[in-house]
Chain A
Amino acid sequence: MPRWGMVIDLDKCTACQACTVACRVENNVSFAGPDEYRRSRAIFWNVVVGVIHGEFPEVRAEYIPMPCMHCDNPPCVKVCPVGATYKNQEGIVFQDYDRCIGCRMCMQGCPYNRRYFNWRVPEWPETFSEYRNPDFEARPRPKGVVEKCTFCVQRLRWAREEGRPIGSDYPDGVVPACVETCTGGARYFGDLDDPDSIVSRLSRSPRAFRLQEELGTEPKVYYLRPGQWTAER
């Protein structure tokens, strides 16, 4: 069984946010509109977080794209009272929109804050109807349930149906939308349990780190520390 993971090279990320947009389109993520956005209710399955270090003139900015970490020891799964979120055999942390009771306990459990709630009936602008993904697993969620990044599980499913390989190792490999779209080629996807896969090798790189590793959540999204590019400046 593959154990799906992701690597994001922060040296290559330009913070263009194409990943966020692609994810949104692929997964029918709803649009909040300016009012709800101001009320901090916008949904971003993938978000690019800007962190500023230091003070002018010694300032440095870091941009960290964050999907769901798909932890191997997920604190969100632990606290769900109805099993609406669970980790499948390939390591993907799923959300069952039909069982979720909207208690938001999983959202409190996630130390990365990567889960989102449908505070209202989700909406999309008219123009979006052309881009809707008809796939069942990306179906629009109802109000009152939690949602989050699924590593584009619908893509993994139809890759298998069509006999396509999965992962960044293959030129025609099927990968999540964010990985496919990344303009800087900063994102990789593959089987962490395959020692030869690119994600596996990069996860063992001296530049590799994970967010909040000390919590023991065992996230499966690895980051490669920026440094090579800045060091060469």
Chain B
Amino acid sequence: MRPVTSYHPQNKHEDTILSPLRRVTRVDRWLWAVLLSVMGLGAYAYSRQWVFGLGVTGLNRPVYWGVYITNFVYFIGLAHSGTFISAILRLAGAGWRKPLTRAAEAITVFSLPFGVASILIDMGRLDRVLNLIFYGRFQSPLLWDVTAVSLYLFSSVVFFYLSLLPDIALCRDRLTAVPLWQRRVYGFLALGWQGRPEQFHRLERVLDGMAIFMTMLVVTVHTVVAWIFGMTLQPGWHTALIGPFFLLGAIFSGTAAVVIALAILRRVYHMQEVLTVSPFNSLRKLLIVFTLGWLYMMVAEHLTQFYGSLPDEMEVFWQKFTGTFAPLFWLMFLTVFVLPLIILVFLGKNRIGWMVVASVLINLGMWIERFVVIVPTETRPTLTTGLGHYQPTWVEGAITASLFAGMVLLYAVFTRLFPVVPIWETAEAVEAETPPAGRAAACLACGDRANQENP
């Protein structure tokens, strides 16, 4: 017989963390309605593309890839936030990450599908997508991409779910006032979790192992995404630095996204006690390191190009520095490096508001950065006669907006269904995840009654 409830580690913030789950406000419904409308607009835009072809975008010859591929790289990059916080920092033993892991992993789980969607949207013949399976050629970087990104998506969902498991059981046991369908979902998803010490022990071990695997995946995935460009012979793309460059950019923009998400959650759900300034300060230091690292990569790449002065590369170089893309390029430099560095170093300490400003700038800039890596090279191919240009259309804009709306919607709904701070991981008991021995034995011996009477 399966006990109805289970053991849950004690967490003095449990009520604060669970409180968002106990109600859905009118503001929520308005937000979801607005986001759904934006997604509807995107769906309509895509329907035009489905019927008329990719010609409804601004894509042309030689700019074969544009906003959609930028979105692809951007969303996959955002996904690295979660894995960085939950997997890499876990391996580093950084305890301060604990309250942040779920919110960060949620970004991963909810941004990856839109990265995948971006690529599907870019395909000329989406109806033939299964050809990738039937006729896949592993010599193509696109197949490396399909493999890595699918594995990463799948693994992230599993990692997220497993980390969520004890808290789903908690929701099942504590949230008795929510709708019946919701309680049933918790019951189903909890997989009969009982909170036995051995279960917690095994869970920790599996998460440790998966953290190692996910770290390797993070490195692989974004490097492989970069190699879609790097493996061609296009000037500006065909550089050995592109893998590490994209990887750093992903972790960078992802971490900034975590700051934004956490700050919003902290404010909207009144979690000032749970999400203190301290983890934000740690993220601030990481962001400073990342922005300096980004500068290093940019200098390494562009100085090398400039010094070598290869004509084909210099065409692309000048496009960015002084040509058509100069406004975007310098805006990027301002929003990814100059402003965030100043804000984070001088204004950011202990001030979450300023950190959010810097993080928003960083994410805006990083989207532009992906665009500026992709498009200028295309406008100056070798053997150029006639110069390339690119003007995105409303279709690309609507679809981009709907992807962001989709991610935010999934995230917002998630925060009303599941605790956004991991209750079991931030619990007080020293062996945070294991109950005192006596209680465990009592629990298991007498079944659920004892647990229910002694929460």
Tell me if chains A and B make direct contact, with any CB pair below 8 A: yes
Q: State the A residues within 8 Å of B (CB).
A: 36, 39-42, 49-51, 75, 78-84, 99-105, 107-109, 111-113, 116-121, 142-146, 211-212, 215
Does B65 lie within 8 Å of A108, measured CB to CB? Answer: yes
Instruction: For B381, list chain A residues within 8 Å (CB).
Output: 111, 113
B 120-135 contacts with A by CB, 8 A: 122-126, 128-129, 131-132, 134-135
Please encode chain B, from 58 to 87, with 1 for each CB lying within 8 Å of some chain A CB and 0 for all others.
111111110000000000000000000000
Instruction: For A113, list chain B residues within 8 Å (CB).
Output: 61-62, 381, 383
Does B62 lie within 8 Å of A101, measured CB to CB? Answer: no
Docked CA distance A74–B146 (Å): 23
Given A81-B137, A81-B142, also A40-B60 (CB < 8 A): yes
| 6 A-B pairs closest in CB distance | A102-B124, A144-B124, A119-B55, A120-B55, A81-B142, A143-B53
Instruction: For A101, list chain B residues within 8 Å (CB).
Output: 123-126, 128-129, 131-132
Q: A81-B140, A109-B232 are in contact. List 20 more A-B contacts (CB 8 A).
A: A40-B386, A49-B385, A51-B385, A75-B233, A80-B137, A82-B128, A82-B135, A101-B132, A103-B142, A107-B64, A108-B65, A111-B234, A117-B61, A117-B64, A117-B124, A119-B59, A143-B53, A143-B55, A143-B124, A144-B123
Q: List 7 A-B contacts (CB under 8 A).
A: A40-B62, A75-B233, A81-B143, A102-B54, A108-B229, A117-B54, A145-B124
Report the minimal beta-carbon distance from A40 to chain B, rounded to whole angstroms.
4
Instruction: For A49, list chain B residues within 8 Å (CB).
Output: 383, 385
Interface flag for B136 (CB, 8 Å): yes
- For chain B, what secondary structure do more than half of its interface residues adopt (helix, strand, loop), or is it mixed? loop
Does A50 lie within 8 Å of B124, measured CB to CB? Answer: no
Please encode chain B, from 124 to 161, with 1 for each CB lying within 8 Å of some chain A CB and 0 for all others.
11101101101111011111001000000000000000
Instruction: For B125, list chain A residues within 8 Å (CB).
Output: 100-102, 142, 144-145
Instruction: For A144, list chain B residues within 8 Å (CB).
Output: 53-54, 123-125
**Interface residue range, chain B:** 35 or more
Docked CA distance A59–B141 (Å): 43
Residue of A nearest to B129 (CB): A101
Interface flag for B388 (CB, 8 Å): yes
Instruction: For A100, list chain B residues within 8 Å (CB).
Output: 124-125, 128
Does A109 lie within 8 Å of B233, measured CB to CB? Answer: yes
Does B124 lie within 8 Å of A118, measured CB to CB? Answer: yes
Please encode chain B, from 182 to 226, with 1 for each CB lying within 8 Å of some chain A CB and 0 for all others.
000000000000000000000000000000000000000000000
B 347-391 contacts with A by CB, 8 A: 378, 381-383, 385-386, 388-389
- Contact partner of A82 (CB less than 8 A), chosen from B54, B55, B132, is B132
Interface flag for B231 (CB, 8 Å): yes
Does B52 lie within 8 Å of A120, measured CB to CB? Answer: yes
Interface flag for B228 (CB, 8 Å): yes
Does B233 lie within 8 Å of A215, measured CB to CB? Answer: yes
